[in-house]
Structures are given as structure tokens and as C-alpha cells.
């Protein structure tokens, strides 16, 4: 069973004394994503519950104080979830729908608790591949529709039809056709209900050093 075969994952001591007292917590998923899907999903469920509880513990008192004019908006402590290689969680594979729906709920309610979420991956087809289950694809599209900002970097021309389908009504043909030709540092910023902007992202030497040189 889980406790016997995966005791180091499900019945081991935490390296953090109090989750709510930490300003920065990292959950490496690289090794987890190589395990059986049911093990990965079970651990992901635990992590998401911790993050949800952490957001409420941080945000609910501030939300109440803000509504009573005891807290200024700019003084609130934000709660941000960053998911790199997000296609391991957001995809159309069987069993992933629970994680996608959990993130939908988070995105609908997080702003009330000064929370936000940022997820990144390489290609739109990592999230919604060709011949994906239609119901699962719709759930992923719904998640993307809840995002306020989308930074779209260079992707090959084979991804354009999928981009048009997932971001239906948000990118015109001219903007789509620019995507395969974007250079390093160039992105198309799509802002929901506002407009789309082609822009350059500048990275300082200090920022590159944080990532080991930006390779």
C-alpha cells in the first residue's frame, strides 16, 4: 500500500516546521512526475490542499481587514503560486482533470485573498495535444480563459491551429502568424478584455545569474 511502498512520500517527516510561517516554499516535482500516475496525483492532491489552506490562512484575515478599511491594498501580503513545467499538472491525460479543476477553483477565488498563480511551459501542445480527449481539452481551455495575462513566446507553425483553438477569439490571424518568427526575448502579451501587445522582455545580468546563466 501507499504507506508501506511509498513511506518516504506519504509518511515521512517534513523539512518545514510551520508551512504558514515560510515566505518561500519549493515543491520539486521532477522525481514525482516519473512515478505511477496515481502516486503523482495523490501527492499533487496533498500539495494543492496545503497551498489552498495556506492561501486562506494568509488571505482571509487580510480580506476582512481590507473590507473594514483597516488594511490598504498595497500593504497586503500577496500569495503567489508559480508552476514551472506546468504541463505535468495541466494536461488532458486521464487522472489530470482533478488537478485542472482544482486550479480553476483557485483562479476563480484567489483574487479575494490577495492570491495569484503563474504557470509556464514550452508549447501549447504540451497542454492540449492533438487528438486530446475533448472533455479534458475543454477543461484546460476553461483554465486558460481564466488567466488575465498570457505571455506567448516563439512556437512552431504546427502549433498555430491549437493556439487559435485554445485562445479562441483572443488572437487574430496577423498576431498568430507572428508567433513562429518571434526572436529571443520577444513575446506576444495577451491581456484579457484589453488588447494584445508585441513586446521585448529585458533580463538583467543579475537575473540571468540567478538561473545559472539562462541556458
Pairing of strands 186-191, 149-152: antiparallel
Q: What percent of the chain has pLDDT over 70?
A: 97
- For residue 8, what pLDDT band results from cuts at 50, 70 and 90? confident
Separation of alpha carbons 139 and 97, rounded Å: 7
Region 157-168: mean pLDDT is 90
DSSP state of 111: G
Mean pLDDT of all residues in the chain?
89
DSSP state of 92: S
- C-alpha grid cell for residue 168? 479562441
**Alpha-carbon torsion, ordered 88, 27, 83, 133, to 10 deg:** 20
Region 76-89: mean pLDDT is 93
Separation of alpha carbons 152 and 127, rounded Å: 14
Cell 483574487 locates to 111
Cell 515543491 locates to 27
Query: Is pLDDT of 61 > 90?
Result: yes
Domain ranges of the chain: 1-147, 148-215
Q: Please choose, from the candidates 190, 191, 164, 168, the residue with its C-alpha nearest in 3D space to the C-alpha of residue 177.
A: 164
Fold of 1-147: Rossmann fold (3.40.50)
- For residue 213, what pLDDT band results from cuts at 50, 70 and 90? low
- C-alpha grid cell for residue 185? 526575448
pLDDT at 210: 84
pLDDT at 155: 93
* Sign of the alpha-carbon dihedral angle for 175, 177, 180, 184: negative
Region 162-185: mean pLDDT is 92
Task: Assign 12 to helix, strand or coil.
Answer: coil
- C-alpha grid cell for residue 166? 485554445
**Phi and psi (nearest 5°) for 23?**
-90, -20
Which of the two residues, 69 and 29, has the higher pLDDT score? Answer: 69
Structure confidence by residue, pLDDT tens digits, 108-161: 999 999 999 999 999 999 999 888 889 999 999 999 999 999 999 999 999 999
Contact 114, 121 (CB under 8 A): no
pLDDT at 9: 79
Instruction: Count the Cβ atoms, other than its own, within 10 Å of residue 162.
Output: 19
Query: Is pLDDT of 214 > 60?
Result: no
Structure confidence by residue, pLDDT tens digits, 10-57: 777 788 888 888 889 988 888 887 888 888 888 888 889 999 999 999
Amino acid at each position: 500500500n501507499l504507506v508501506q511502498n511509498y513511506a518516504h512520500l506519504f509518511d515521512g517527516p517534513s523539512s518545514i516546521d510551520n508551512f504558514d510561517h515560510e515566505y518561500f516554499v519549493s515543491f520539486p516535482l521532477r522525481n514525482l512526475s516519473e512515478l505511477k500516475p496515481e502516486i503523482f496525483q495523490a501527492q499533487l492532491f496533498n500539495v494543492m490542499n496545503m497551498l489552498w489552506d495556506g492561501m486562506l490562512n494568509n488571505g482571509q484575515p487580510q480580506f476582512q481587514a481590507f473590507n473594514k478599511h483597516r488594511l490598504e491594498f498595497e500593504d497586503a501580503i500577496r500569495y503567489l503560486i508559480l508552476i514551472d513545467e506546468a504541463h505535468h499538472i495541466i494536461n488532458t491525460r486521464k487522472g489530470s482533470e482533478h488537478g485542472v479543476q482544482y486550479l480553476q477553483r483557485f483562479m476563480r477565488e484567489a483574487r479575494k485573498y490577495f492570491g495569484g498563480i503563474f504557470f509556464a511551459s514550452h508549447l501549447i501542445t504540451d497542454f492540449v495535444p492533438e487528438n486530446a480527449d475533448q472533455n479534458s481539452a475543454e477543461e484546460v481551455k476553461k483554465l486558460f480563459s481564466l488567466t488575465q495575462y498570457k505571455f506567448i513566446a516563439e512556437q512552431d507553425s504546427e502549433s498555430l491551429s491549437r493556439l487559435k483553438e485554445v485562445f479562441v477569439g483572443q488572437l487574430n490571424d496577423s498576431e498568430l502568424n507572428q508567433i513562429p518568427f518571434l526572436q529571443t526575448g520577444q513575446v506576444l502579451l495577451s491581456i484579457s478584455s484589453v488588447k494584445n501587445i508585441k513586446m521585448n522582455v529585458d533580463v538583467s545580468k543579475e537575473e540571468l545569474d540567478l538561473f545559472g546563466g539562462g541556458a
